[in-house]
Amino acid sequence: MKEFIIIGAGQAGLSMAYYLKQLNKDYLILDANDVIGKPWLKRWDSLKLFTPSEYNNLPGLNFPNKKGHYASKYEVADYLKTYVETFNIPIEFNQKVNSLEKKEAYFLIKSDNKTYQTKNVVIATGPFHTPFTPLCHKKIDPSITQIHSEHYKNPTQLQDGDTLVVGAGDSGVQILEEISNTNRKVFFSGKTNISSLPQEFLGKTLWWWFSKIGFLSFNKYSFIGKKISKGLQPVIGTDVKALFKKSNITCVGRTLDANGKELVFEKDKINTIKNIVWATGFKPNFNWIKDIELDENNYPENHRGISTTKGIYYLGLPWLYTRGSATLGGVKKDAKYLHDYIKKS
């Protein structure tokens, strides 16, 4: 039996492993993937971080690229691999956990092919679980290519012809820009009143300014934190106003319905679309954990990662404590808080 099992070998799980190692705890990480960094490598080819290298450090090891560099997904995956090797972190891959159940004196964890017992467990599976696609996608003619952003790599996956991108978050906007650069006609479905922030301002990076004004330190329990967490998040690094003005992009409002080849939007009905990229986000899935409390957004009830169920901890969730809680460089603060709590326990 282990003292701790961490579920998930992303940046959250690795940060927690670092701190458990500092406490000389007997721990193990379980991960559903076959190699470290796989979730990053699955994402679209041109992806780059919004944060410069100096803000991407996990505890104990600086990100290798020079200051001001915006890393690619491949560089992030390489960094995570180096992190595991540097601190000799024990990971069992290809272990997709299907259930977690609290017994009297321990937790029982089951994957497809193994069973584990542990006194404590850290859920570090990240914020991206089940891809969300509107129900109307089932009404769309099969001749139209449909891809969720989770599986989008680059425009070569698309058929020739008009393309629809749905979703006004960072992923949707970045993918919209990339596809529009192929000079095809592109329709955009989503809110257009989103604001954008440049990656650099007055010779300093946006994250330098954020750190100076304390933007990333506002916690979700504070008045300002509540306002920020419930508001529409700005897109970083893309000038959305300029993007929406491109001659080959048409904004059509929300997607309302579909009937074969005809798609119905707030502002139009269109039957020429050959491809759809659904950048519509993900839904959390914690149904595999028995007898835990979930909040109104279906995330586990907790305070700074400490569960209402004794012995369960959470890390890497969006707004676990601050806006940076789910980011590569921000998760270490939450991990350090759990380290301090466990040390005192």
Q: pLDDT per residue over 255-298, tens digit each?
A: 999 999 999 999 999 999 999 999 999 999 999 999 999 998 89
pTM over 0.85: yes
Q: How confident is residue 228, by pLDDT bands cut at 50, 70 and 90?
A: low
Asked whether the predicted pLDDT for residue 69 surpasses 70, the reply is: yes
Predicted pLDDT at 208: 63
CA contacts within 13 A on the Cβ side of 343: 13
What is the distance between the alpha carbons of residues 203 and 112, in angstroms, rounded to a whole number? 51
**100 or 215, which is more confident?**
100
Predicted pLDDT at 323: 82
Q: pLDDT tens, 150-207?
A: 999 999 999 999 999 999 999 999 999 999 999 999 999 999 988 877 667 767 676 6
> Average pLDDT, stretch 16-34?
98
> Average pLDDT, stretch 43-47?
93
What is the distance between the alpha carbons of residues 280 and 151, in angstroms, rounded to a whole number? 12
What is the distance between the alpha carbons of residues 247 and 309, in angstroms, rounded to a whole number? 54
User: What are the residue boundaries of the structural domains of the chain, listed by start?
Assistant: 2-129+284-344, 131-195+232-278
Asked whether the predicted pLDDT for residue 315 surpasses 80, the reply is: yes
Asked whether the predicted pLDDT for residue 129 surpasses 70, the reply is: yes
Tokens of 319: 């707004």
Predicted pLDDT at 308: 93
Predicted pLDDT at 316: 96
Predicted pLDDT at 210: 72
The percent of residues in the chain predicted with pLDDT above 90, rounded, is: 77
CA distances from 12 to 184, 259, 267 (A): 39, 42, 42
CATH of 2-129+284-344, one of 2.40.50.100, 3.50.50.60, 3.30.1330.10, 1.20.1050.140: 3.50.50.60
What is the distance between the alpha carbons of residues 278 and 276, in angstroms, rounded to a whole number? 6
Helices (H) and strands (E) in the chain, counts: 8, 23
Q: How confident is residue 4, by pLDDT bands cut at 50, 70 and 90?
A: very high
Domain 131-195+232-278: give its CATH code: 3.50.50.60
Q: How confident is residue 233, by pLDDT bands cut at 50, 70 and 90?
A: confident
What's phi and psi for 141, nearest 5 deg?
Answer: -55, 135
Predicted pLDDT at 319: 85
**327 or 145, which is more confident?**
145
Predicted pLDDT at 179: 98
How far is C-alpha 220 from the chain's CA centre? 18
